[in-house]
A and B are shown apart, each in its own frame.
Chain A
Amino acid sequence: MSDSDERPWRQDNLGVFGELPGDLMMWVLIASELLVFGAALIAFLAVRATDPAGFSADQAMLDRTAGALNTAVLVTSGLCAGLAVVHREREERSMARRWLFAAGFLGIVFLVVKSFEYAQKAELGIGVETSAFFTFYYLTTGFHALHVVAGIVILGVVAWADSVRNMEAAVAFWHMVDLIWVLLFPIIYLLR
């Protein structure tokens, strides 16, 4: 079966939507998620404008090194996930699974680093209701971490149900999680 035969969802009559790589519905999800996180980050910056000194003091308590480490972990995980698709398209299913597991493992590393960050805050008595800054911090990073958990589960599922279509869709979801982080991290952690 040729590559194009395996992808009946790519229809020429979709017009400009047919130009999107992979599954159209995955792009609808990616656009939706970007809008949700984008709105949350703009809201964060708008509320910050009402109390810049308070936000700056709270932001100084964040662990930037952990955030930077997690950026490296996620972009490397994205590379592993992308390589999984490359190998699957070459019919190298075993190698594809290995790269998927590597991507999922790095996702777990991301969650471990994040849980250390949360634990440090908890030790200091910092919670969701401590301040407006930490409400945004926990809601945005927590919601993102839930996406990481979902992504790890999805990568595990497509390691088993490993059609090219499934793997492309799962990996696109994983890249979306990566994309959200590279926008969230600088705005929440770095803008002073």
Chain B
Amino acid sequence: MTARGLIEAWAALVALSMGTAALTMLDVSGSTRTVIAAGVLALAGLKSRVILARYLRLNQSRFWTRLFDVVLAIFLGIAFAAYLLGIQE
């Protein structure tokens, strides 16, 4: 990993964090609440992917990048399903 690559990863993380902040400032009433929650989790997944691939240099291996992508997607899918259970009460 080069210094430039790390700085690009950091910029991506800051941008994604700002995106998360913008999403959470939106009105959460009604059906938009579920969409916002999905967006927040998706952005968390993207941030995790940047840290794994760029900071932790996992992008050196296609196999491990894909495996962590799958595990992360399963985790976020379960988290979203559990979240949906909570708002159906």
Q: Are A192 and B33 in contact (CB under 8 A)?
A: yes
B63 A19 Cβ-Cβ under 8 A:
yes
Residues of B contacting A: mostly: helix
Q: How far is the CB of B72 from chain A (nearest CB, A)?
A: 9
A20-69: which have CB < 8 Å to B? 20-22, 30, 38, 41-42, 45-46, 48-49, 52-53, 55, 64, 68
Whether A49 and B82, one on each chain, are in contact in the complex, defined by CB atoms closer than 8 angstroms, is yes
Q: A190 touching B20 by the CB < 8 A rule?
A: yes
CB distance from A157 to the nearest CB of B (A): 20
Q: Would you list the 10 A-B pairs with minimal beta carbon distance, nearest first?
A: A45-B82, A19-B61, A49-B85, A21-B57, A79-B10, A49-B86, A75-B13, A182-B47, A82-B6, A52-B86
| A183 part of interface (Cβ distance < 8 Å) | yes
Chain B residues with Cβ under 8 A from A158's Cβ? none
Convert A175-191 into 0s and 1s, putting 1 for each residue whose CB lies closer than 8 angstroms to a CB of B: 11011001101110011
Residue of B nearest to A192 (CB): B28
Q: List 23 A-B contacts (CB under 8 A).
A: A19-B63, A19-B64, A21-B61, A42-B82, A48-B83, A49-B82, A49-B86, A49-B89, A55-B86, A71-B17, A72-B14, A75-B13, A78-B10, A78-B55, A79-B9, A82-B1, A86-B1, A175-B55, A179-B56, A182-B51, A187-B79, A191-B41, A192-B33
A68–B24 Cα distance when bound, in Å, is 11
A48 touches B82 (CB 8 A): yes
B55 adjacent to A186 (CB under 8 Å):
no
Given contacts A86-B6, A175-B55, 11 further A-B contacts (CB under 8 A): A19-B64, A45-B85, A52-B86, A75-B14, A75-B17, A78-B13, A82-B55, A83-B3, A179-B51, A191-B41, A192-B36
Q: Would you call the interface of chain A mostly helix, strand, loop, or mixed?
A: helix
Q: How far is the CA of A75 from the CA of B11 in the complex (A)?
A: 9
- Contacting pair B79 A42 (CB below 8 A): yes
Contact present for A68 and B82 (CB under 8 Å) = no
Q: Does any Cβ of B come within 8 Å of A76's Cβ?
A: yes
Closest B residue by C-beta to A20: B64
Judging by beta carbons under 8 Å apart, are B52 and A179 in contact? yes
Given the known interface contacts A21-B61, A45-B86, A179-B48, the answer about A186 and B40 at a Cβ–Cβ threshold of 8 Å is yes
B1-24 residues with Cβ-Cβ distance < 8 A to A are 1-3, 6-7, 9-10, 13-14, 17, 20-21, 24
